[in-house]
Amino acid sequence: MGGVVTRTTFQLILIKPTHYDDDGYPITWLRSHIPSNTLAALYGLGADCRQRQVLGADVDIVIKPFDETNTRVRADRIMRDLKRSGDKALICLVGVQSNQFPRATDLARQFIKGGFSVAMGGFHAAGCLSMLPVIPPEIQAAMDMGVSIYAGEAEEGRLDEVLLDAWNGTLKPLYNYMNDLPGIEAAPTPHLPPAALARNEGRKSSFDLGRGCPFQCSFCTIINVQGRKSRFRTPDDLEAIVRENYKQGITSFFITDDNMARNKHWEAFFDRLIELRENEGICVSLIIQVDTQCHRIPNFIHKARWAGVYRVFIGLENVNPDNLLAAKKRQNKITEYRKMLQAWHTSGASTWAGYILGFPGDTRESILRDMEIIKKELPLDILELFMLTPLPGSEDHQTLWKQGVWMDPDLNKYDLHHRVVHHPKMSDAEYEQTYRDAWRTYYTPEHIETVAKRHGSIPGRNPAEPAQFMTMFKIMFEAEGVHPLEGGVVRMKYRRDRRYGMPIESVGVFHWKLALETVRKLKIYGRLAWQGWRIGQKVKNDPKRHEYTDLALQPVMDDDMDKLSLFADTAGGGAAVNKRRGEDLARAKIAAQQNQRLAAAE
């Protein structure tokens, strides 16, 4: 008779850290808005390792995911449970961006002090190691503390290696795969367990269908972390992801591709989703990211809407061609902005655009002027304002690092919402005030009503919806003091979770401050929510709302471009119009020559 096989357990703890607010408390919500793709991808890879029994047939791998944007991470409780069970474990701090690195390090410090193995990966480590000739001091300090740094992606068996090393007690100080990015075709399906997804507002999940980008934007980290060569999943991979989540009741997704319109399989992906909708009744709701040229791709917008896309993030970045050129954002043509936004608007999709403030040529006057131009001439819904930030891993950061230019040493501020460099034309105070005023300039009650009216003019659209989202953005900025993309539902704050090195306040002081803060926030929430609701209802109940039009909705006539402030108020705008007209004349000339040749041949 064979002996009884003794089974052991290995715990893989996956933690997606948040970052600290200005008072040093982790930004955590009861429900978060944006799900973590990295957490879903690594959970799927971990589940694949478990199925393949990479640690041996007698070892069970238990995976526990934590997204700190919606879950308080109690290192003491996690360690107590591990010590009680006696299981071996690896604590992985995943998807760590630069602004999350201080929080990740603080968590790692607690786990290492407790005697547990810790690995950390994400854009900060990968970006720094790909763009800098030396290991930055904060990464070296983490390694000296005992953290294993992982740079790169974990597909093609690379997670296997880390798990085996952790199991054998031989974790390396550094795993650097930046020169060998894996393929993602037929990779394990990204997913999360129901309990984790339930903490996302609206029960959303996320996944990617492609990685990498061929463009050269100097402020971007993606091209240096995920590579300039694009890599793709397949339509079969997409179907597997949708079906896996559908079994859990998840049908709403954020596709995290930096630019879905440049994914070579976009049409096959949309066709597969349309087939699932038509043949099996599996309907999904999608948020995607696209570029400003996507409307020129035949059928892209039509099929996107048919497949379930209801919201698009667009990298508008700026309306001044000189700024776009300075940032190497050559693919953005401001002469196409109105056509592109009108195409999405007509389709009924909601448009959310990223917009960067603080280019070298910007002034307070030019920024506030551009806000007014956008409001008047572009049919855009949500504008997401960011400070131009030299993110570690970007060309901008590399350039300033080589030149020895001052950059704020506090990585917690590298969230695109805080100033971390000096501006050449504005003082620090003026730059920061202009950023705040730009938010307030765009999100006025009058403009919220205008956007609601634009949606109300489309049959079947609910104008209260954009009013609600714009109000939510305004509330996050005004009441919570965070960038709206970091927002959520009900902020959670815990006294003992304060940033390492900052004093832990007494119970009385902490709760007194929290009470005053809560009262202040509730007043802002109440006032703005009531304001947004009234605007939405006013437009919704207007019997003539389908007759509404304004300049932003009017057809784009090339001959009238000079009359628009979008093109007339900057030297770059005028040059863009002249270049566009020259290209049109050249195309017309070529077409005429072709017609002449055809006529002669006949």
| Token couple for 229 | 């060569």
The beta-strand segments (E) located in 344-499 are: 350-357, 382-387, 488-492
* SS3 (DSSP) at 63: strand
Residues 54, 163 contacting (CB under 8 angstroms): yes
What is the C-alpha separation between 252 and 443, in angstroms, rounded?
Answer: 27
Contact 223, 393 (CB under 8 A): no
Would the CA dihedral through 498, 500, 502, 506 be positive or negative?
A: positive
Give residue 561's pLDDT. 64
Q: Which of 447, 445, 423 is nearest to 433 (CA)?
A: 423
Measured between alpha carbons, how far apart are the two ends of the chain, in Å?
92
Q: Could you say which residues of the chain have pLDDT below 50?
A: 1, 581
pTM, to two decimals:
0.91
Residues 152, 41: contact at Cβ < 8 Å?
Answer: no
What's the pLDDT at 275? 97
Q: Can you read off the two tokens belonging to residue 398?
A: 């590399």
DSSP state of 457: T
Report the alpha-carbon distance of residue 343 to residue 217 in Å, rounded.
25
| Pick from 550, 552, 137: nearest CA to 344 | 552
How many other β-carbons are positioned within 10 Å of the β-carbon of residue 445? 16
Here the tokens at position 83 are 């010590």
pLDDT, residue 592, reads 60
d(CA 432, CA 426): 9
The confidence score (pLDDT) of residue 228 equals 82
CA-to-CA distance for 416 and 419, rounded, in angstroms? 8
**DSSP H or E stretch at residue 10:** strand 8-16
Cβ-contact 467, 542 below 8 angstroms: no
pLDDT recorded at residue 1: 45
Q: C-alpha dihedral over 291, 294, 295, 300, to 10 degrees?
A: -140
In this structure, the strands spanning 204-207 and 210-211 are unpaired
* Separation CA 536–CA 300 (nearest Å): 30
